[in-house]
Amino acid sequence: MRIAYFTESLFPHVDGVSRTLAQLFRTLEHRGVEFRVYSPFVPENSVSWSGRVQRVPAIAFPLYRDYKVSIPSPGLAAELDEYQPDLLHLVSPTPMAAWAQRYAARAGVPVVSSFHTHFVSYLRYYGMPALEEVGWALLRRFYTRCDAVYAPSPAIIQELAEHGIEGVELWSRGIELARYSPAFRDVALRERVGADAEHPLLLMVSRLVKEKDLKDLVAMHEILRARGSQHRLVLVGEGPMREELEAALPDAYFAGHQEGEALSRWYASADVFVFPSTTETFGNVVLEALASGVPAVVVDRGGPPGLVRPGVTGRIARANDPADLAEHVGALLAEPELRRAMGQHARESASERDWSVINGRLIESYAAIVGTSVRLRAAS
């Protein structure tokens, strides 16, 4: 089976999508599945599958210039004809993906897609809420032209169905337990930000952008401070909102972008993880916190609520309600024994998510689609 992937998110660009694809590509390598990737990003040579990546032209995404939008290059159709893929996987509904759909229809190749990023919901954060219905209409047109669509959580599958995109399959997410572990807890790191037994460390890891509902984080922090909370707030991540957030949160510590063992230490050194975003399709950062033995407080929208067992591994607050978020976070900050017990359960819950099993199910779905396509061509 030969698979061609089209994606705008790939190492060295780091986000939840590129990390998910990296895990999938490792699984494909391990299982001997042939694949090729078309992307504006090409990983460095130390990445085992970097030689399979073909760079394509791209332009910057207007709302967030770190992202790229691929453009079909001359000769791409001939290159695909030579490669003869059995399946195309389109990671995002971009112009390149739409081109790939048309190519697949001409070549008689099945095409699948996956829903990773809630682009339509971003419109209201950038002053364009009236375009949301138009956005959903475009997504329906795109996804209904695919032989299969994969989403990372049951909540997103339900939301897609409500917008007329039905029959979506679950492709969940796993975790590297050796990479995210309580073993990385770092007392010196905690001391650097003034965290100790009386001053718990409250952590958030995220891109610093509007669509992560960071204004709710600011309001929650102010409520907790007004109540006398002595926590230390740390934000890990970069983005266009950093300057605004630094002004609004003068007593918070901004650690900037972190990765590798440095990121693992921040997670494991926290006492509580908070994530107010309402636009997540899964919530990789929440799972990373849980695997690090840290209870998480999330809101009741999107993928993150499916990762948290209320009262066992964390808490779930009402979306866009900073006062309710403060109640849940404050309850954990005030109870060290409770959050330690929750942290143990959080680690146990994360241990159930094995990447090889999760991606193995996706590969089985690929094989079934390719098999059906072969039978239909033989019968025609």
Each residue's pLDDT tens digit, 75-124:
999 999 999 999 999 999 999 999 999 999 999 999 999 999 998 998 89
**Cα-Cα end-to-end distance for the chain:** 21
CA dist list (Å): 58 to 22, 39, 283? 21, 9, 27
Query: Strand, helix or coil at 35?
Result: strand
Tokens of 182: 């309580």
């017990």: which residue's tokens?
Answer: 341
Cα torsion 177, 179, 183, 189: sign: negative
pLDDT (0 to 100) of residue 10: 96
Distance CA 74, CA 98 (A): 15
Q: What pLDDT sits at residue 63?
A: 62
Q: What is the total residue count of the chain?
A: 380
**Angle, alpha carbons 122-124-128 (nearest 5°):** 110
Place of tokens 């002053």: 127
The torsion defined by the Cα of 282, 268, 329 and 217, in degrees rounded to 10, comes to -60
Question: How much is the pLDDT for 250?
Answer: 98
What the block records as the tokens of 222 is 């102010």
Tell me what pLDDT residue 66 has: 73
pLDDT at 123: 87
Instruction: Write the pLDDT tens digit of every residue in 282-323.
Output: 999 999 999 999 999 999 999 999 999 999 999 999 999 999
CB 200: neighbour CB atoms within 10 A? 22
Domains in the chain, ordered, with CATH? 2-174+354-379 (3.40.50.2000), 182-350 (3.40.50.2000)
Structure tokens, 193: 């930000």
CA–CA distances in Å: residue 135 to residues 139, 167, 232: 6, 20, 39
Distances (CA, A) of 300 to 116, 171, 292, 313, 327: 18, 21, 22, 15, 14
Contact by Cβ (8 Å): 241, 63: no
Say whether 255 sits in a helix, a strand or coil.
Answer: strand
Token pair 């209409």 is at which residue? 137
Q: Are 163 and 151 in contact (CB under 8 A)?
A: no
Exposure class string for 34-55: b at 16+ Cβ within 10 A, else e: ebbbbbbbbbeeebebbebbee
pLDDT at position 379: 81
CA–CA dist 195, 253 (Å, integer): 11
CA dist., res. 170 & res. 359, Å (int): 11
User: Would you call 198 helix, strand, or coil by DSSP?
Assistant: coil
Q: Averaged in consecutive runs of 10 residues, what is the pLDDT profile of the chain (380 residues)?
A: 97 93 98 98 96 95 77 94 98 96 97 95 89 95 98 97 97 96 98 97 97 98 98 97 98 96 98 98 97 98 98 98 98 97 98 95 98 84
Q: Against a cut of 0.75, is the pTM above it? A: yes
Q: How far is CA 2 from CA 28, 40, 141, in A?
A: 10, 21, 26
Cα separation values, 124 from 127, 129, 371, Å: 5, 4, 42
